Amino acid sequence: MNLVRFFLRFLLNDTKLRYYSKFLEEPLQKMTSGNVVRVAVIQMNYSPVSGIGNFVELINQYLEKMRNFSPQIIVFPNLLDTIIFGTFPAFFYLKGRRTVKLIKSCSSITSYACEKIMAELSNKWQCTVVFGTTVGQFVYHCGVKQKNVFSTSNYKIAVLPKRDIVNSEKLERYIKDGVRIIATTGCGVVDFNEWDDRFSMWVHSQMVGFYGLWSLMSGIVFGKEIKGRACVTAPVPITRSQDGYIVKSDTLQGDVVLLAELDMQKIDFFLLSRAVSIY
């Protein structure tokens, strides 16, 4: 274990992180948005790479698909740092408890490397970047690390784990406190079911009233095939298709970049109208 950690620290050192972060895709000219918040939500097909240079190249493939859109919020999926595990193939040859032990032993190194690249991306694009690693969920805004709930001049966002987005009482407290966007870094499941999938972000977006950003890691991860759909949810009355989705992935696996515009006036009017008694 110590040998693996030594090589990872060497291959993912700060000098390499600073050097390769310079090659992150540059954004196009920033667009003004008014009451609209532009978001990009990513569904990523798991594809481990070797070295931080290849990791940046992989991230650039997604950034290229959103450069013209100029998003203010980008949401990457959970377990993002495990993509760097391709740097040391031992992760994929070990099985069972030995794999878990190795991941726990090295997670601080891979998560740190991932965090540095995402922080630089947030700074370059002058936007909010949300992502998850083996250590937890992180959010950066304009290069600065934020708490899980924070405000900008355009929006107030809460970045929550999946267990919290099924708790209506907790979500209602966030909404009463001014949160209008809730983001979660997701991961697919082995036994995916369309109806079960709705009982998390989608159904609570209807019950409580918020814009939901659900990113997703899919594909074959450590020998298990996981599936799911990334999506952007909203209350049914303010979605164009009247189905509670602003946009959602049309595939259970594969690389998808979902782009959406969130009208903050619409969600405020919806919450206000629901709070007004008809009697």
CATH number, position 256:
3.60.110.10
Give which of 75, 29, 54 is closest to 201, Cα–Cα. Answer: 75
- Evaluate whether residue 173 is within a structural domain: yes
Give the residue numbers spanning the domain of 20: 2-131+141-275
Give 241-253 pLDDT, tens digit per residue.
999 999 999 999 9
Instruction: Count the domains in the chain.
Output: 1
pTM of the model: 0.93
CB-CB neighbours of 247 under 10 Å:
20
- Evaluate whether residue 222 is within a structural domain: yes
The rounded distance, in Å, linking the Cα atoms of 130 and 138 is: 6
Chain length of the chain: 279
- Evaluate whether residue 206 is within a structural domain: yes
DSSP states of the chain = -HHHHHHHHHHT-HHHHHHHHTTSPPP-PPPP-TTEEEEEEEEEE----SHHHHHHHHHHHHHTTTTTT--SEEE--TTGGGGGGGGSTHHHH--THHHHHHHHHHHHHHHHHHHHHHHHHHHHHTSEEEEE-SS-EEEEETTEE--SEEE-SS-EEEE--GGGTT-HHHHHHHHHTT--EEEEE---BTT--HHHHHTTHHHHIIIII-EEEEEEEEEEETTEEEB---EEE--GGGSTTSSSEEEE-S-SSS-EEEEEEEEHHHHHHHHHHHHS---
CB-CB neighbours of 48 under 10 Å:
18
Give 159-214 pLDDT, tens digit per residue.
999 899 989 999 999 999 999 999 999 899 999 988 778 888 999 999 999 999 99
Give 83-137 pLDDT, tens digit per residue.
987 765 555 555 556 666 777 778 899 999 999 999 999 999 999 999 999 999 9
pLDDT band at 233 (very low <50, low <70, confident <90, very high): very high
- Evaluate whether residue 237 is within a structural domain: yes
- Evaluate whether residue 21 is within a structural domain: yes
- Evaluate whether residue 136 is within a structural domain: no
Phi-psi region of 127 (alpha: psi -120 to 50; beta: other; left: phi over 0): beta
Using the Cα atoms of residue 178, residue 181, residue 185 and residue 186 in order, give the sign of their dihedral.
positive
Q: What is the number of alpha carbons within 13 Å of residue 274 lying toward its C-beta?
A: 15
Higher-confidence position of 145 and 12 = 145
Q: How much of the chain exceeds pLDDT 70, in percent?
A: 91
